[in-house]
Amino acid sequence: MGLSDSPSAGMRNGRGLSDQWADSVVVRPRTTERHITVHKRLVLGFALSILTLIVVTAVAVLLSVRFDDCAGGPEGSARAGPGNGSSAKFNGSRDGGGGGAREEETQPWRQPRLPVALRPRHYDLRLAVHMDNFTFSGEVSVEFECVDATKFIVLHADRLEVGSVAVFSDHSKKPAGGVMRVHRRFHHPASQVYVIALHREMKPTRTYRVNLTFEAQMENELLGFFRSSYTLQGERRFLAVTQFSPTHARKAFPCFDEPVYKATFRLSLRHDPAYTSLANMPVESSLVEEDGFLTNQFARTPRMSTYYLAWAVCNFTYLETETDSGITIRLYARPDAIASGAGNYALQITKRLLGFYQDYFNVQYSLPKLDLLAVPKHPYAAMENWGLSVFVEQKILLDPEVSSFSYQMELTMVVVHEICHQWFGDLVTPVWWEDVWLKEGFAHYFEYVGTDFLFPKWNMEKQRFLTDVLHEVMLLDGLASSHPISQEVVQATDIDRVFDWIAYKKGAALIRMLANVMGEPVFRRGLNDYLMTHMYGNAARGDLWNKLSEAMRAERKDINIAAVMDRWTLQMGYPVVTISRNDSWERHVTITQQHFIYQQEGRSRETSFNNNSFQWQIPLTLAMGNGTSMSPETIIWVSNKTETHRVGQMDDDTWLLGNINQTGYFRVNYDLHNWRLLITQLLNNLEVISVGNRAGLIDDVFNLARAGYLPQSIPLQLIGYLPQERDFLPWHAASRALYQLDKLLDRTEDYSLFSDYVLKQVAASYHRMGWPSNVGAAEGSIMQASYQTEELQREVIMLACSFGNKHCHRQAVSQISDWISSNKNRIPPNVRDIVYCTGVSLMDEDVWEFIWMKFHSSTAVSEKKVLLEALTCSDNGFLLNRLLNLSLSSDLVPDQDVIDVIIHVGRNPHGRHLAWRYFRDKWDILNARYGEALFMNSKLISGVTEFLNTETELTELKEFIAASGGVAGPAFARAVEIVEANVRWHSLHERHFFQWLRKSPNG
């Protein structure tokens, strides 16, 4: 809706002077002399009028040039289309007082955050979607409140062609509201904003509306409102879907695109009736228009942030169910996927999860429906848009005939994560991105709590959480390049940086530690109060601490949660707690805390540059044991660098064990005597120490040795008990540690010493457990699977095949050969990835071509992923190069899988140098394609560089970073530190490591 052009300020002022002069002239009969005088006055007045006009115009032009500079250059000066409100340049008119002049001087459109002067209340958004040429056009009407007087409306808009603009005051006495005159409007691309400069200031406490029309392309880059495609019965079909988090709603419509600016939304979508349209809310009305297009009007949303708004236009079909409370749940996917039943599992667990979260949080789900949308391409595993959660197909479609247990488990946890976000994220949203862990940490923690609700026998929160969350994030957080979980976000480029595993996994680990300290009932009451207080609004970490402290005080437990947790959230890293006997005082132990860091130089200079900042309030649980039993745990709060505490009676054979079941976010070290007692205990009677603690000891001992806190022989001595281990979790922790060593050693001359040592640890378990059969594969689904047995069997087979067990290799080759000869795949789903990879690495090129053919013909998304990864296992450089080139330059590999192909080629010792070279050669293309997508660049950089471990490779990395211009700085800084640590390990520890293996009876 445009405004008619009004005369310029300069012309108006000039015309006013001329008219005033003309009105003062009285025309009546004069004498000739008087006529001459009058004519002289006329000429003089006319000349003065012209001179005044010239001066005013000159001043206006000068001011407009200055304003053009403020507006960002040529683009600002080019915006003079319909509805501009004025053809003249904005001249800083004084009519509205001094506020506008001050704003012009500060140039609010140049700031990294939107001005706080305006606050949106409601959006009416109407879109026309053209799937034939992948464009869309629309009109948005934004109702907003003026908080502070201002002449400027600054909204986010990126890659949008804005047409007409109109601004209205809703407090005008006129029935339609008063039209506000627009002096100037322009894009400021550097800040991704669109600026509307008004003639007069808007007044505080009043409401206004701005209407904008716009149009744009649906890009093929997985962000904003983007297009995607799939093939159905040989026909290529298209769909369009949104991905707005964190800062991409502005690519789809002009808006206040920051989390704190919550508003309600009413959306209508106009499109070809051959398609279905979906949005956050149900369809309220549908209308087929005269031109044949369909317009769907969706119900008004609750107050929500722009990045949770979502819509899609597709020709999918759906499955449907309904909760006991009447919430409709639908899963939309490709028609062939729906027909095959691939969506049934996710739909059913979603129904159960909505009930679980409503009961756990004691807060009802807020919307009348929840749609799950499975799309072929997406930058992330899923996105928790309120009422319309979007998943990449691999994370929601399940074919039990071909899906492994690990695939099924991963899918389950993704669904659990996204449903949790309907409360932590959608309902209560972090104020700003610095506290993104407030939603991602909770959702990641509840992946394990929610999965335990679905399948209690899995015991995910007490076991798998340790290896998959705690151990993994401590690897990252022990680097000198780590950062606090709450970190300052100023520039737009900083926003992407906060979405990393520190936010997700460290957030989850700290929440788990806090839940264990508080006790579950008190923790749940605190969460309920937090959600109820801030629902439909925003919250910061202080709001959470306050509610949890109130819950503790209600139980007469006086713990200042903020004082405890700020140390964990506002400083990077975590402590290593060292427990040792106090030789001076009987029954006492000395406990010290120190910032754990892999970089030894960082430890040596920490005192000088960090003062006492690396200090935590640590809830240390402690127990003692001997050959037959372990005492109940006690909790000790450690606040100082060094403390002495009284414990029970100890003799020479009594060992100490800290951080029981690894509920705390820290490592534990002991004196060497205590380590030897623990090693003896595991060898003689491992059951005295719990499964979780056995896994924790393995992870701690390997990482303490890697960082130089312990001799290299201690971890190898400790895992000497593994042939007796019958539980999955300690084996999983050990395999993760061994693969870390394998990355360092697989190109060394003495590698066989290490691989033989690993195979001797694995041999007994491998022969005892054997291989799974494929009988009743359909019944071996996630609902009936014996978690411990199947996962342990898989872990042992993977270690055996990876490190060269001959029987394992023969078994894999036999199963691949049987598949090729019979064209019937009888390989058990739970070990298919191991068999495929082993077969491709050992067999000839024909097997690679066979797997490549199966990858293209398979319709099961889980099977396609396993087949694609198997192709990266070849030892043929030509085939690996071919795969790398095809992945990036064709449509044969989905966009989100290209990065995985490069990383997996890099994991292959025969492909490491190829992946490293390919990454550098194609960096500009990769960065252009994935640079804006959260995680993708950092995942790629980490995956390709973590295997580099020579001085030459370190030099190549540093030279490449210098040549790349500083893009992806944090990820590259982390990569350099990891490669430096790899090189340093070789120089400091490799010789001692192999010396021990040569002397060891198990080596």
- Tally: H helices and E strands in the chain: 34, 29
- DSSP code, position 829: G
Catalytic residue among 418, 447, 790, 980: 418
Selection from 519, 410, 425 nearest residue 460 by Cα: 410
SS3 909: coil
Handedness of CA 997, 999, 1000, 1002 (dihedral sign): positive
**In this structure, are residues 305 and 261 in contact, taking their beta carbons and an 8 Å threshold?**
yes
Q: Is 418 a catalytic residue?
A: yes
Q: Sheet with 235-243: list strands edge to edge.
A: 224-232, 235-243, 311-314, 276-279
Q: Which two tokens stand for residue 737?
A: 């540690």
Selection from 814, 777, 773, 813 nearest residue 793 by Cα: 773
Q: Phi first, then psi: give them for residue 525, nearest 5 degrees.
A: -65, -40
**Helix 9-23 vs helix 32-71: angle between axes, to the nearest 10 degrees?**
160
DSSP string over 425-490: TTTEEESSGGGTHHHHHHHHHHHHHHHHHH-GGG-IIIIIHIIIIIHHHHHHHTSTT---SS----
428: burial class by Cβ within 10 Å (0-12, 13-18, 19+)? buried
Q: Phi first, then psi: give them for residue 341, nearest 5 degrees.
A: 85, 15
Give the residue carrying structure tokens 């940086």: 497
672: burial class by Cβ within 10 Å (0-12, 13-18, 19+)? exposed
- Cα(390)–Cα(333) distance, rounded to whole angstroms? 10
- Cα(147)–Cα(151) distance, rounded to whole angstroms? 12
Q: Which two tokens stand for residue 453?
A: 């609700």
**In this structure, are residues 216 and 136 in contact, taking their beta carbons and an 8 Å threshold?**
yes
**In this structure, are residues 517 and 617 in contact, taking their beta carbons and an 8 Å threshold?**
no
**In this structure, are residues 799 and 738 in contact, taking their beta carbons and an 8 Å threshold?**
yes
Residues forming beta bridges with residue 579, ordered by sequence position: 591, 670
- Cα(282)–Cα(276) distance, rounded to whole angstroms? 12
**In this structure, are residues 332 and 316 in contact, taking their beta carbons and an 8 Å threshold?**
yes
- Cα(1002)–Cα(759) distance, rounded to whole angstroms? 10
Could you tell me the end-to-end alpha-carbon distance of the chain, in angstroms, rounded to an integer?
A: 80
Angle among Cα 122, 128, 131 to the nearest 5 degrees reads 135
Give the residue carrying structure tokens 């003689």: 684
Residues forming beta bridges with residue 184, ordered by sequence position: 197
Selection from 552, 533, 309 nearest residue 428 by Cα: 533
- Cα(820)–Cα(423) distance, rounded to whole angstroms? 49
Q: Which two tokens stand for residue 849?
A: 């071509």
Q: Which two tokens stand for residue 561?
A: 């949660």
Give the residue carrying structure tokens 């799974």: 772
- Cα(583)–Cα(276) distance, rounded to whole angstroms? 75
H or E segment to which residue 196 belongs? strand 193-202
Residues forming beta bridges with residue 319, ordered by sequence position: 331
**In this structure, are residues 888 and 882 in contact, taking their beta carbons and an 8 Å threshold?**
no
- Cα(128)–Cα(741) distance, rounded to whole angstroms? 56
- DSSP code, position 172: S
Q: Say which residues have a Cβ less than 8 Å from residue 116's Cβ, sequence separation at least 6.
A: 147, 148
Residues forming beta bridges with residue 161, ordered by sequence position: 215
Name residue 245's amino acid.
S
Active site residues: 418
